[in-house]
Structure 1
Amino acid sequence: MEGRWPARGGVLLCLTVSLLLQGRGDSFTINCSGFDQHGVDPAAFQAVFDRKAFRPVTNYSVPTRVNISFTLSAILEVDAQLQLLTSFLWMDLVWDNPFITWNPEECVGINKLTVSAENLWLPDIFIVESMDVDQTPSGLTAYVSSEGRIKYDKPMRVTSICNLDIFYFPFDQQNCTFTFSSFLYTVDSMLLGMDKEVWEITDTSRNVIRTQGEWELLGINKATPKMSVGSNLYDQIMFYVAIRRRPSLYIINLLVPSSFLIAIDALSFYLPAESESRAPFKITLLLGYNVFLLMMNDLLPASGTPLISVYFALCLSLMVLSLLETVFITYLLHVATTQPPPMPRWLHSLLLPCTSPGRCCPTAPQKENEGLGLTPTHLPGPKEPGELGKEVRPGETELDGGSGRTKTQLVELWVQFSHVMDALLFRLYLLFMASSIFTVIVLWNT
């Protein structure tokens, strides 16, 4: 038994020396003596494994071409405050190793093998935008073909920097980049190419993407600029990944409730101006809208000023203006019913034709009464001599600065003026609200 060990060790030594000699000659074909139906003898590849620290080329003046592709399988998080995109990728690298070739017909029909990636030379491809430590799991394997082509698939959880524009939130689209490059080999030593077409990468990513929540993949494009660092020039491939936010969550939870509240506030103008519940109703709406904004604040971006924040500020401003309008009309009605001041002729002639054209400045007293909307019971008129002492009171016979109007007529004028102002301000409110919301919608569609 002891005499057999030197013989076996000699066989392994001769096989290793023969493989090393093959690597230094013109032929790099691996000896198939280590191949059988039960597996492959590691000694057949030992010469290749010993050279993993060196770039596998027969002529160092010829750069190694590495073909790159990837599959975007998940969009995990988009942080607008830190401007970061967290995604999960499968990066595929393909290159040729001229020292790994064999004849499948002589090697029991084996065309492809899986070899531990730790035993092979691997290109130092990284993502330029990555802001996190590479968390690639250990113990990965690579496919090795009989022609010496190596295919290495590498899963990566990538946290990359991305210039996010949240102005159009929640109808925003983002364009992030993944730039693949080498940090060691210049263009004299390594060139990058495409293993798949861009449309294949896009279709594969859409089919396997796992997150069907907030973001969806729109498309992928590429560019091939060179990266210059000092006097060194590096090859790189830049992929532009376009993603779009699904806005349904924000439409249901933000835009729809806000639109309902502002619509109710507009309808509250149809409450009678003399009603004492109009102002408290608007105050309740205003407080409810503030509570709504506080509750939904977590759904809004933490940084920047998106257009939806402008929309909410606009709705809040409209509610405040509506409340101020109600306060103003209430004040006018209070003044009109307590101590109505004399109405200037220009105000009387300017406002009343808007509601009663041709009736504001009549010549006959009866036409004036009709134009003011007053009934004979409210205004003094020709009465019997016996009725004069009963109907006329001191407050009603006071004239309006010599204009010939009694206090009752003056009250009616100011009340009518208050209703005219209420209708006018309501129309201005609707006009401003419609134009503002239309402008916001147009900006969102662009």
Structure 2
Amino acid sequence: MLGAPGWLSQLRSLLSAGRGHTFTINCSGFDRYGVDPAAFQAVFDRKAFRPVVNYSIPTRVNISFTMSAIVEVDAQLQLMTSFLWLNVIWYNPFIRWNPEECGGIRKISIAAKNLWLPDIFIEEFMDVDQTATGLMAYVNSEGLIKYDKPMKVVSICNLDIFYFPFDEQNCTLTFSSFIYTVENVVLGMEKKVQEISNTSQNLIRSKGEWVLLGIHQRMMKMTVGTNQYDQIIFYVAIRRKPSLYVINLLVPSGFLVAIDALSFYLPAESENRAPFKMTLLLGYNVFLLMMNDLLPATGTPLISIYFALCLSLMVVSLLETIFTTYLLHLATTQPPPMPQWLHSLLLYWASPRKCCPTAPQKGNKGLSPTPTHLPGVKEPVELVGKVSCPIESELNGCPGSAGTQQEEEAQKQHLVDLWVKFSHVMDTLLFRLYLLFMATSIITVIVLWNT
């Protein structure tokens, strides 16, 4: 092992070895006997040092990459996993030969471990670099070195899943040097960013769940204490393919809500409306449990609000059916006296449609009440009165009592009809409010998705 004086003397000799005007490698015989390792031994000995003639001049390192695939975007961990082909190009003045003396050889491959490599890294990188070892670098006769390496990049990305599954994300890949400041290494672009974007889009177009929208780039310098580091920031815009989630989530949910709305056309007196709505509500809950794995594990996306809204609409629809059924049951068992304001409101709503009977006249003139057949009532109240009145009149010997009893039964029947009509009016009104709220809510969600 060299001591301090020996190490310094070797450093001086390596730095002063190239003070001439040319650093030509003797490549005679390369075309006949292959590359002679001894011809590059002086270059290999310098790999620990930045390859420059004047150490005060920074080395320009040009970088570019091709994104070949977007493997996964983890919303819970806020990570994007992608595959990159990283291209790094720089100039080594100590590698140069005359192609005419080497049988026309203008480019050779050299093991990257034998060369000085710039320590370019991605600041957002969140995993161990799994780049394969033993990679090669291409060197041309002018000393230009091109080093390509494949990378699986697990980078942190600030994801906004509110618009899931119609979301667009903007992730950054910041390339910088870990050791060398701007006095030593200056970063540049090997290709135009538009060319990088177009090539990557052509490769990713038919792969995976995400579509690459474009790549943009910005140069900047990062200051750490008194040191400055060159940086190139690439903005990677991606968009999720929503077809899977539209078919498996939005369409079935929309069908169930539409069927729930159409169930209002079942007769209010039907005993099947409430069980039908309860079955739909149960089926929708099972649907949400089955599709829960497709939703993001964190955050509150807009689609979750949409599902909660659909579930709320179904619950409100069931409550409306329960309320209407209660009114009809009340009308057929013990109908209370209808308040005057409610009677006037009912006349206002029903008279244009001619669906509300007028009040019975004295002596039942012109009154022809229609018997109301409802679930749980075998005979209308009017028929019961007609059967019992003749028996009471014969026993009491009061012929006039039959007319009075019949008038009372007619008034009761009219009250039943009023409450039944009120139940129908309320059912229609609540149905229209339900449709208005449903249309407004769905349109609002669609507008938010499109913004």
- Which range, TM-score by smaller chain? 0.7 to 0.9
1:368-403 CA-partner distances (Å, limit 9, x unpaired): 9999985899699xxxx9997696584x5448xxxx
User: What letter matches 2:445 in structure 1?
Assistant: V
Pair 1:130 & 2:125 matched: yes
Contact 2:70 2:208 in 1 (8 A): no
**What is the Cα deviation at residue 29 of structure 1?**
1.1
Q: TM-score, normalised by structure 1?
A: 0.88
Pair 1:408 & 2:403 matched: no
Mind listing any 5+ residue stretches in structure 1 that lack a counterpart?
1-17, 400-404
Contact 2:360 2:411 in 1 (8 A): no
Pair 1:162 & 2:162 matched: no
Q: Within 2, Cα distance between the matches of 1:331 and 1:353?
A: 23
Quick one: which of 276, 286, 293 aligns to 1:281? 276
Alignment match, 1:315? 310
Q: TM-score, normalised by structure 2?
A: 0.87
Question: How has the CA–CA distance of structure 1 residues 356 and 30 changed in structure 2, closer, same or farther, with 3 Å as cutoff?
Answer: same
Pair 1:440 & 2:434 matched: no
Aligned length: 418
Contact 1:174 1:242 in 2 (8 A): yes
Q: Within 2, Cα distance between the matches of 1:209 and 1:435?
A: 38
Contact 2:205 2:211 in 1 (8 A): no
Question: How has the CA–CA distance of structure 1 residues 427 and 369 changed in structure 2, closer, same or farther, with 3 Å as cutoff?
Answer: farther
Alignment match, 1:215? 210
User: What letter matches 1:328 in structure 2?
Assistant: F
User: What letter matches 2:291 in structure 1?
Assistant: M
Q: Within 2, Cα distance between the matches of 1:371 and 1:444?
A: 58
Question: How has the CA–CA distance of structure 1 residues 306 and 286 changed in structure 2, closer, same or farther, with 3 Å as cutoff?
Answer: same
Determine helix, strand or coil for the equivalent of 1:224.
strand
Alignment of 1:392-403 (within 5 A): 392=403, 394=405, 397-398=407-408
Question: How has the CA–CA distance of structure 1 residues 226 and 277 changed in structure 2, closer, same or farther, with 3 Å as cutoff?
Answer: same
Identify the range of structure 1 (28-37 vs 337-346) with the bigger mean alpha-carbon deviation: 28-37
Question: How has the CA–CA distance of structure 1 residues 207 and 339 changed in structure 2, closer, same or farther, with 3 Å as cutoff?
Answer: same
Determine helix, strand or coil for the equivalent of 2:247.
helix
Alignment match, 1:8? none
Alignment match, 1:227? 222
Q: Within 2, Cα distance between the matches of 1:103 and 1:371?
A: 120
- CA root-mean-square deviation: 2.9
Contact 1:74 1:210 in 2 (8 A): no
**What is the Cα deviation at residue 159 of structure 1?**
0.5
Alignment match, 2:330? 335
User: What letter matches 1:198 in structure 2?
Assistant: V
Mind listing any 5+ residue stretches in structure 2 that lack a counterpart?
1-12, 373-379, 386-392
Q: Within 2, Cα distance between the matches of 1:336 and 1:389?
A: 29
Alignment of 1:138-153 (within 5 A): 138-153=133-148
Pair 1:197 & 2:192 matched: yes
Alignment match, 1:109? 104
Identify the range of structure 1 (20-29 vs 333-342) with the bigger mean alpha-carbon deviation: 20-29
Question: How has the CA–CA distance of structure 1 residues 130 and 57 changed in structure 2, closer, same or farther, with 3 Å as cutoff?
Answer: same
Alignment match, 2:243? 248
Question: How has the CA–CA distance of structure 1 residues 327 and 57 changed in structure 2, closer, same or farther, with 3 Å as cutoff?
Answer: same
Pair 1:267 & 2:272 matched: no
Alignment match, 1:427? 432
Question: How has the CA–CA distance of structure 1 residues 160 and 393 changed in structure 2, closer, same or farther, with 3 Å as cutoff?
Answer: farther
Question: How has the CA–CA distance of structure 1 residues 139 and 275 changed in structure 2, closer, same or farther, with 3 Å as cutoff?
Answer: same
Question: How has the CA–CA distance of structure 1 residues 369 and 289 changed in structure 2, closer, same or farther, with 3 Å as cutoff?
Answer: farther
User: What letter matches 1:439 in structure 2?
Assistant: T
Contact 2:31 2:105 in 1 (8 A): no
**What is the Cα deviation at residue 19 of structure 1?**
11
Contact 1:73 1:210 in 2 (8 A): no
1:228-255 CA-partner distances (Å, limit 9, x unpaired): 1111100010000000000000001000
Alignment match, 1:35? 30
Determine helix, strand or coil for the equivalent of 2:207.
coil
